[in-house]
Structure 1
Amino acid sequence: MNRTLTRQPFGTLEDGTAVDRYTLTSGNGMRVRILTYGGIVQTVETPDRHGRDANIALGFPALEDYVGKNGGPCFGAVIGRYANRIAKARFTLDGETYRLAANNGENSLHGGPGGFNTKVWKARPVEGGDSVGLRLDYTSVDGEENFPGTLTTTVTYTLTRGNELRIEYHATTDQPTIVNLTNHSYFNLAGEGTGDVYGHRVTLNASRYTPVNAALIPVGEPAPVKGTPFDFTSPHSIGERIRAHDPQLLIAQGYDHNFVLDQPHPSRLTEAARVTEPRSGRVLEISTTEPGVQFYTGNFLDGSLIGTGGRAYRQGDGFALETQHFPDSPNQPGFPSTVLRPGESFDSTTVYAFSTG
């Protein structure tokens, strides 16, 4: 099978803006569909141990679903300017306080209601020796969602013959600002719409995590995972301890926490997570240059959303592993900085490697 990249129309927005869908095939049994709306990874099709293909990414079948229903779950989308939460929807940079839209209680979440997940990105194919890719570009003007500075952003998706989906982020600014970019794909390695993911086994390369308050904002210093339900330094199934009487699990109704990755060489690709699904044999391994990963277990899926396969998504029907800087970093001086200044660049890489075992 040859590596291919094709484009087809995927509808138009109310203002007449056209949205395209690009299909990337690895030449080795894997296919990924990406939308120019939100930079969304709509589907990820991979074989199981018996060679049977299935879509393992949660999403919607039509553009109107993404426009009207994806503000909460953000299935598959590029998240920016700031992934995760900013407490009380404000931050101070160089002595000036910026007030953002509060779209998650009193907090700002995922860049606000008009974040990168709602934008139509310019796309162009990228050819490689053993890969196919898609480069997406978007310029966020000064003051968009009340963030300072014009931010020029590029996200490049590359699918390799080795069935790796590589995501590279690059951003520059003309004024001091803050940046935290990620992809918000949800996975079910047994197949989208097949039920919960509680039997998936997860390993996280993280000996600490950031406990949160009732608003899911980090409080205090990162805490050790040892001796808690947050210890995934060895494999555990998602459902094994998710209903434990732990205050942090009760707050989030499951896992929705940032894990601090053990990085021997910061800013170099580091193994972040490994997830296996026993029935299908599918394996997902994630590496990243980011210092953290948000592990989310679909706690707020409530059956009201119908996915690409025509089935309702209920609590626990997918998991997300969002590589990122830590939540609320602009208000937490002890966290790695998310400040970007003119003359600097934000550069980040995450690799999703798919296989069977």
Structure 2
Amino acid sequence: MGIRKKNKNPPILSHEFIIQNHADIVSCLALLLVLGLLFEVTSHVAGLFITVQHNVTISTNEGQEELAVNYFHHGPKDMATVFFYMLIAIIFHAVIQECLLDKINRKMHLSKIKHTKFDESGQLSAFYLLSCGWGISILLSENLMSSPVNLWEGYPHTLMPVAPPPSRFQMKFFYISQLAYWLHALPELYFQKAKNEDIPRQLLYISLYLVHIGGAYILNLNRLGLVLMVLHYFVELLFHVSRLIYFSNESRQAGFTVWAVLFVIGRLLTLSLSVLTVGFGLAGAEHQGPDLTTGNFNMPLIRVAVLAGICATQAFMVWTFINVQLRRWREFQQQLRKSAPPRSSRPRRDRGGPNAINGALGNVPDSPRTRKEKSS
């Protein structure tokens, strides 16, 4: 996982060689794209990968001055940008693994299964923490938290602002980064040598992230998608941080209880905001009907499809959550039975008490009086 020390030199271009050196290979590829900006012949092609595309400049009059404000909208050129930042995500993944997680793992001496889960939680904790902070800053700068009406007012939200103010994060770049991160998780299954039985589960949740984030981006539901991502990422961050704390000290499990409560609240808020925005807000909007030129996808069929997808995903998550909690409860009950003292070691005076039912005395030796009655 990540950049590792090589004890042997595998054949060049073999699977082991690519896995051991994947971070260096990806770094060279990303560097070539950056160097392409230095030459006029290749600068245009390299710019498609590195810079954010599909910008629009709109002039506005404020007082006696005319200001030019830059906006961005989505388009096919975004695929090249997502590819480049997917390479950057692979590099950051390797750096976090090498510089932080591997050093901690060597000190904790975890088992192989816990080692894999610790690495997964460590990587996702860093990503969720960065995404939550970034998303909250966008929500505050765009003043989207002041009223729920802002989630659907002015739809379609095709133009994503860049400035002013200069400190405002770019909404478009946030979505580009999110898509790039979850796309990078696909080759990481190969680089991390994921087990065959774990690949379907990982492919499922990676696909769910890509479909929902990409759907919000393409359908111009940027504001609703941003709010739901921040809400979901915060709950997931708490879970993975709690798991990291649990691996360091197994007696510390209070975080899982808090996460379980917030998980249910998060699902309810997700459904409420989705129904409020898509089912009521967009349904009562002034502009109805599809219009590709303006990016308007506000039509009953698409609204029903969006709500059905969100509800199905939330139901699947709740079903998985319930199954996990039931499995943990059964495992806890089994541990209690194993830790309980055996029946043969209990005091003799308890063998004939009211608890001796359902065959509890089946393995207890007969008393002398019983033997005498049998002989007669």
TM-score bin (small chain): under 0.3
Decide which structure has greater helix share.
2
TM-score by length of 1: 0.26
